[in-house]
Amino acid sequence: MLKEILVIDDNPDIRSLVSNILIEQNYEVRTAANYDQAIFEINKKLPDLAIIDIKLDKTDKDGIDLLKLVTKKSKLTPVIMISGHATVQIAVEATRLGAYEFIEKPFTKEKILNYVNRALESSKLKKEKDIIENKLFHSFELIGKSPSVIKVKKIIEKLSTSESRVLIYGPTGTGKELVARKIHKNSSRSKEPFIIINAALLKESAYEKELFGEEFDDGNISFGALERANKGTLLIDEVSEIPFETQANVLRVLIDQKFKRLNGSKDINVNIRLISSTSKDLSELVKINKFREDLYHRLNVMPIELTSLSSRTEDIPLLIEYFKEKLSEINGVQQPKIDIKNDNLYTYNWPGNVRELRNLVERITILSANESQSNINKIIEDILNPASTFSNRDILEKSFTSPLKEARKHFEKEYLITQLKKNHGNISKTADFIGMERSALHRKLKELGIKGIN
């Protein structure tokens, strides 16, 4: 399909020149000679790319206003601004507002085509990236029937009408970013940017620049995460990693809703919803002066706890079935035959939590084409290698260094805990499966010190 380009310029010679250049390259071209025509064409149908002159016929409206309109309708539609008498400040402002490029008149045929081709290629890559992200995040759901997952779903639903700051905490791989995306998607800011800054990946010297941006002597600007997230949502992942000195500046932004770029003198006003996540206990870090108490209370308005996968094993079968369907669709292969009663899935500690389970299902999806169920079970066993986990090593060590009676006790305890988890803590089902009377199982659990398991 031919790409469509909208050329907006009140100079008929420029309109004709640019249009002819583009038509020669097999682009479809629409034109607008003034501001009102431009509004009509933009509202009628967004082009694949817009070329807009800064100065138009209206004294109170110009190309910058049209740029704002296009980017408001679609952030994936590139805009090239052109002008014969613009200042550096106007060029910087156009770039800040989302223009792909700014070209001064007069320009050569080669230059305009170079920018057009690059802008369309960039737009294509962004759209492809969005499709992938939609598959990886937006289409993924928070799966589970455990009490902890049901609680989180209810909180997300309640947050849809709230602007409260949210602190998501839980072990690595439990789905903190997914929850943050769901909160943003359900909010009134869903059409605005969702920006992520991973504090754990930054060098200590880079935090302020990444958050606040920077101004340079030549007039160029590096926009920080706060500015890019304006009107939308900013997720600070692993917020505990922000240096103590920088925390004070983040607190000031939350109080004043404004900040200055590095080397800048002008206040930048922002309206963002801040979501933070952490795998550490911020309250404990506050006690040892590793995290500011005042910032902690500002962030922890609505806490959401995500529990480890090993503490909610009843969700494992649901997650496996869900990931089988999604990942086979993404990878274009048949769904694998995964035995959800495989003991390895429940005895394994899942240190990487849901992310690790998803990776396991994806590996099996790719590796298990035309494999038998026994071979798939072997693949699972080889990947998880449960004997190498800490808990199993610990049990084996205790068993081989203990008298027979103690060794048997260790194995019995681990076996019964596994079966209880598989049966979601149901004593009757567990007793039937292992061939014990219900009352005898109760006595054995009490003897081994095993309490209720959900």
Show the tokens assigned to 384.
């998880």
Mean of the pLDDT values across residues 300-326?
94
Spatial contact of 361 and 338, defined as CB atoms under 8 Å apart: yes
Show the tokens assigned to 423.
């049966």
Among 114-128, 206-220, 321-335, 365-379, which stretch is predicted with the lowest mean pLDDT?
365-379
The CA radius of gyration of the chain, in Å to the nearest whole number, is 29
Indicate the pTM of the whole model: 0.59
Q: What is the 3-state secondary structure (H, E, C) of 1-58?
A: CCCEEEEECCCHHHHHHHHHHHHHCCCEEEEECCHHHHHHHHHHCCCCEEEEECCCCC
Q: Any residues with CB less than 8 A from the CB of 361 and at least 6 apart, and which? A: 320, 323, 324, 327, 336, 338
Cα–Cα separations (whole angstroms), residue 195 to 67, 184, 220, 304: 21, 10, 22, 19
Mean of the pLDDT values across residues 211-233?
88
Asked whether residue 368 falls in the same domain as residue 423, the answer is no
Last residue of a domain, one of 247, 272, 307: 307
Asked whether residue 336 falls in the same domain as residue 426, the answer is no
Asked whether residue 145 falls in the same domain as residue 120, the answer is no
Overall domain count for the chain: 4
Asked whether residue 373 falls in the same domain as residue 406, the answer is no
Mean of the pLDDT values across residues 182-206?
90
384 within a domain of the structure (yes/no): no
Last residue of a domain, one of 336, 355, 378: 378
270 within a domain of the structure (yes/no): yes
453 within a domain of the structure (yes/no): no
pLDDT tens column, 154-165:
999 999 889 999
Backbone angles phi, psi at 19, to 5 degrees: -60, -45
131 within a domain of the structure (yes/no): no
Asked whether residue 161 falls in the same domain as residue 276, the answer is yes
CATH no. for residue 419? Answer: 1.10.10
Q: Where residue 13 falls among pLDDT bands split at 50, 70, 90? A: very high
Asked whether residue 164 falls in the same domain as residue 91, the answer is no
H-helix or E-strand spanning residue 293: helix 293-299
332 within a domain of the structure (yes/no): yes
pLDDT tens column, 255-272:
999 999 999 889 999 999
Placement of tokens 């930054």 in the chain: 202
| Nearest by Cα to 306 from 144, 453, 133 | 144
Model pLDDT, residue 28: 95
Show the tokens assigned to 314.
């009843």
Dihedral, CA atoms, 386, 387, 388, 393, nearest 10 degrees?
130
Q: Any residues with CB less than 8 A from the CB of 39 and at least 6 apart, and which? A: 66, 69
Asked whether residue 235 falls in the same domain as residue 145, the answer is yes
CA angle 186/191/193 to nearest 5° reads 100
Number of H helices, E strands in the chain: 20, 14
Show the tokens assigned to 196.
């992520």
Phi-psi domain of 53 (left: phi exceeds 0; alpha: psi -120 through 50; beta: other):
beta
CATH no. for residue 251? Answer: 3.40.50.300
First vs last C-alpha separation in the chain: 56
Backbone angles phi, psi at 338, to 5 degrees: -105, 125
Asked whether residue 316 falls in the same domain as residue 298, the answer is no
| Residue 125 amino acid letter | L
Mean of the pLDDT values across residues 290-301?
96
* Mean pLDDT for the chain overall: 85
H-helix or E-strand spanning residue 93: helix 88-96
Backbone angles phi, psi at 277, to 5 degrees: -135, 155
Model pLDDT, residue 94: 86
Burial status of residue 224 (CB atoms within 10 A of its CB: 0-12, 13-18, 19 or more): buried
Among 60-74, 117-131, 349-363, which stretch is predicted with the lowest mean pLDDT?
117-131
132 within a domain of the structure (yes/no): no
Mean of the pLDDT values across residues 395-404?
50
Placement of tokens 């002597």 in the chain: 217
Asked whether residue 324 falls in the same domain as residue 219, the answer is no
411 within a domain of the structure (yes/no): yes
Domain range enclosing 439: 390-448
Model pLDDT, residue 387: 47
Model pLDDT, residue 453: 67
CATH no. for residue 62? Answer: 3.40.50.2300
Helix or strand or coil: residue 276?
Answer: strand
Spatial contact of 81 and 63, defined as CB atoms under 8 Å apart: yes
135 within a domain of the structure (yes/no): no
Q: How far apart are CA 346 and CA 213, in angstroms?
A: 46
Q: How far apart are CA 315 and CA 310, in angstroms?
A: 10
Asked whether residue 232 falls in the same domain as residue 162, the answer is yes
Asked whether residue 301 falls in the same domain as residue 316, the answer is no
Cα–Cα separations (whole angstroms), residue 180 to 187, 230, 234, 419, 424: 11, 16, 9, 34, 28
Q: Is the per-residue pLDDT at 217 higher than 90?
A: no
Model pLDDT, residue 86: 65
Asked whether residue 204 falls in the same domain as residue 217, the answer is yes
